[in-house]
């Protein structure tokens, strides 16, 4: 993991996913959060990461915050992971 990634929310998504759009909208209400978006349909490595954490399925949104990986999380669950893994991002 690069230093940039460790300070960011890694959001694995795909086009047309309503759950992805809802999560991104919820996270967008919190200024200062850095979100790196990975389209699993365009990025084979991103798709492999998701399958690795979702029993071989491509379940999105999947989110990585530091060492925490969340599958189809709520905005609150992502913010709780941010508070635990990188609290400085919520300052």
State how far the alpha carbon of 87 is from the alpha carbons of 62, 66, 67, 91, in Å: 20, 11, 14, 7
The encoded tokens of residue 7 equal 């300070």
* pLDDT for res 3: 41
Sign of CA dihedral 80, 11, 27, 35: positive
- Span 22-68, pLDDT tens digits: 999 999 998 888 999 999 999 999 999 999 999 999 999 999 999 99
Whether this prediction's pTM lies above 0.95 is answered by no
Going from the N-terminus, what domains does the chain have, and what CATH number goes with each?
3-90 (3.40.30.10)
Q: How confident is the model at residue 20 (pLDDT cuts 50, 70, 90)?
A: very high
The residue that leads in pLDDT, 7 or 77, is: 77
Tell me the β-bridge partners of 71.
62
Distance CA 46, CA 11 (A): 10
Q: 82 and 9 in contact (C-beta within 8 Å)?
A: yes
Residues 75 and 83: beta-carbon distance below 8 Å: no
Tokens of 90: 């919520």
């Amino acid at each position: 993991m690069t230093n940039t990634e460790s300070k960011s929310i890694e959001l694995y998504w795909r086009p047309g996913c309503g759950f992805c759009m809802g999560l991104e909208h919820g996270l967008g209400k919190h200024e200062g959060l850095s979100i790196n978006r990975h389209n699993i349909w365009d990025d084979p490595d991103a798709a492999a990461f998701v399958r690795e954490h979702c029993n071989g399925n491509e379940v999105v949104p999947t989110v990585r915050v530091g060492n925490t990986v969340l599958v189809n999380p709520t905005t609150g669950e992502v913010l709780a992971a941010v508070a635990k893994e990188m609290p400085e991002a919520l300052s």
